[in-house]
Structure 1
Amino acid sequence: KEQDAHRKAIDVYTFLGIEPGITVADLWPGGGYNTHLLSRLMGDDGKVYCMMGFYGSGRYDTLDKIEERIKEANLSNVQIFSKPSDLPVGSIDVMVSIRNYHDAKTPRDQLLAELHAALKPNGILGIVDVATDHPGWDDETHRLNEQVVIDECTSNGFELVESSDMLRNPDDDHSIRGFDEGRHTMDRYLLKFRKVAK
C-alpha cells in the first residue's frame, strides 16, 4: 500500500479507458498487484486475462504466486495464459504492460504481432516503463528509452493515441537502477496505443 501513491494504478486505468465489464489483459503480472486490482474493478461481467510470460522471462516465473493470490482473494474472473500466442484472438479490449516491456526479448516484432492479434479492433495497448536519457536500452540502469517503445509499436500495427506525464518524476536524474531502493519513484512514461489494421 505504501507504493499506491506512486503507482497511481486507478488513474492509469482511467487514462487507458479501462472500465467495469470489459476484458483486460495484465501482461507479465509479476506478483499480481495489477491483476488483483483489475479483477475487482472488472466485476462479475468483466474478465482479466493474466498473461504470465513474455519471451525470455524464465527468471521471473511467478505462476505459483499468482495462482495463490487468485485462490486466496477469490479472483474468479481471472484466467491465466502462459504466453501471448495463447491469448484468444480478437478478445481483449485493453492490455496493460506495467514496467516490464523492456524485459521482453528483442526483436519484439513477434510479441507485438501476437498482442495485436489478441486485441479487438481498435483495442488499446497501454505501456508504462522507466525513462532514460540513454538512447535505446540502458543495461546499467535497467531502463528503456521511450522512443524505442513508440518506434517498435508503431512499426507493428499500433498507433500512438496519447501519452501522459502522470507518472513522471523530474527529481529522478535517471541514475537509479530498476532494482534499487527508491525504484517505485522512478521517472516513468505512460503510452496509450490503439490497434490499427496491418
Structure 2
Amino acid sequence: MRLPALLAAAALILPVGAVIAQHAGHHQAADPIATAIAAPSRTPANTVRDKYRHPAETLAFFGVTPKQTVVEYAPSGGWYTEILAPLLRDHGSFYALQPTGRYLDGYKQFLAAKPEAYGKVKVVAYPEENSAIPANSVDTVLTFRNVHNMVMAGNEAATFKAFFDMLKPGGTLGVVDHRLPEDRDTALEKSSGYLKVSTIRRIAQAAGFEYVGASDVNANPKDTADWPKGVWTLPPTLSQKDVDKDKYLAIGESDRMTLKFRKPAK
C-alpha cells in the first residue's frame, strides 16, 4: 500500500519542480531594457514622462543591448542616463559625452548623488576631452533632442563627424528630435527647436552615415509645431507659464522623429 502512496507523492512533486524551472526560465529571459527602466534609482518625476518618451521601444529600435559600448551625447539632466547606466553597468560601457557649459557640473553632481547606480558612467567633456573615447570603439551613439541645439549653434557638422569617428564600422547612430513639417520655412530651424527630417538626414549623410530607417514611436499628431515660443511652449518647459497651460498639457510633449543611421562597415 505504501508504494502507490509514494508514486502519488512523486507525481505531485514533479509539477512543482517543473513550475520552478519554468519560473527560472522566465527570470533568465527578462527584458534587460525593461529591467533598467524599472530601476529603483530612477527619479519618480522622470518615470512619469515615459509615456511621452517611450524608452523601451526607442532603445529597442536603436538596437541597444547590455553588452555594448554606448555614448550618449548631451545627457544634460540625466533622463536617459537613469536607464542606460543600469542597463550597461555590468556587461557594457557607458560614456556620457557632455558639452562643456552649464550642464556639465550639474550632471556630475547628479551622478555623484547615487554612486551605486552611476559610479561606472564615464563623463567626457565635449569637445575638449573627446579623444578620451577611442576611435572606432563605440557600438551605439545616442542623442535625444539635441540636434536642434547643434543647428542653432552651427556646430552640427563637427559634432556628427565626432560621432562618426568614435563609432565602430557598422555602428549605430540613434537620433530623436522635435519634428518640423517638411513644408515649413527652414528658417524656423534656427529658432523654434524643431527640425525637418530631411535636415537631420542631410547632416548625417554629409558626415558619412547611411540612413537605416525611422520609427513613429515618439510621434505626437497633436503637436502642430507652430507655437508662440517654439517647442518650449509645450511641456515639460511650458514657457507660457499659466497661459493656455491646460491646452498645452493636453497636447503633451512634442512630435518627435526617431531616426537610425549606420556607419558603413569596412
Q: Tell me if both proteins adopt one fold, taking TM over 0.5 as the criterion.
A: yes
Q: Counterpart in 2 of 1:136?
A: 186
**What 5-or-longer segments of structure 1 have no aligned partner?**
none
Equivalent residue runs for 1:155-194 within 5 Å: 155-176=206-227, 177-182=230-235, 185-194=253-262
- After superposition, what is the alpha-carbon deviation per residue over 1:49-78, rounded to whole angstroms, capped at 9, x for unaligned? 00011xxx74xx212221122222221221
In structure 2, distance between residues paired with 1:135 and 1:81:
36
Q: How does 1:1-198 map to 2 (within 5 A)?
A: 1-53=47-99, 58=101, 61-74=102-115, 75-84=118-127, 85-86=130-131, 87-104=133-150, 105-106=153-154, 108-133=156-181, 134-138=184-188, 139-176=190-227, 177-182=230-235, 185-196=253-264
CA contact (8 A) 2:225 2:231 kept: no
Question: Which consecutive aligned stretches of 4+ in structure 1 deviate over 6 angstroms post-superposition?
Answer: none
| Higher alpha-carbon Rg | 2
Higher relative contact order (CA 8 A, sep 6+): 1
Higher helix proportion (structure 1 or 2):
2
Q: Whole-Å Cα distance in 2 between the matches of residues 7 and 107 of structure 1?
A: 26
Q: Which amino acid aligns with 1:175?
A: D
Q: Residues 151 and 21 (structure 1 numbering): CA distance in 2 closer, same or farther, change over 3 Å?
A: same
Question: Following the alignment from structure 2 to structure 1, what is the Cα–Cα distance between the partners of residues 94 and 187?
Answer: 30
Residue 256 of structure 2 aligns to which amino acid in structure 1?
R
* Contact 1:137-1:144 within 8 A present in 2 as well: no
- Matched position secondary structure for 1:21: coil
Q: What letter matches 2:262 in structure 1?
A: R
Q: Distance in 2 between the 1:140 and 1:155 partners? A: 23
Q: In structure 1, what is the equivalent of residue 30 of structure 2?
A: none
- Pick which of 20-29 and 140-149 moved more: 140-149
SS in structure 1 of the partner of residue 217 of structure 2: coil
Partners in 2 of 1:129 and 1:109 — Cα distance?
16
Structure 2: distance between partners of 1:88 and 1:115 = 11
Pairs aligned (count)? 193
Query: In structure 1, what is the equivalent of residue 244 of structure 2?
Result: none
Q: TM-score, normalised by structure 1?
A: 0.89
| Greater percentage in strand | 1
Query: How large is the RMSD of aligned CA atoms in angstroms?
Result: 1.9
Quote the Cα distance in structure 2 between the aligned partners of 1:99 and 1:25.
Answer: 15
User: TM-score when scaled to structure 2?
Assistant: 0.68
Mind listing any 5+ residue stretches in structure 2 that lack a counterpart? 1-46, 237-251
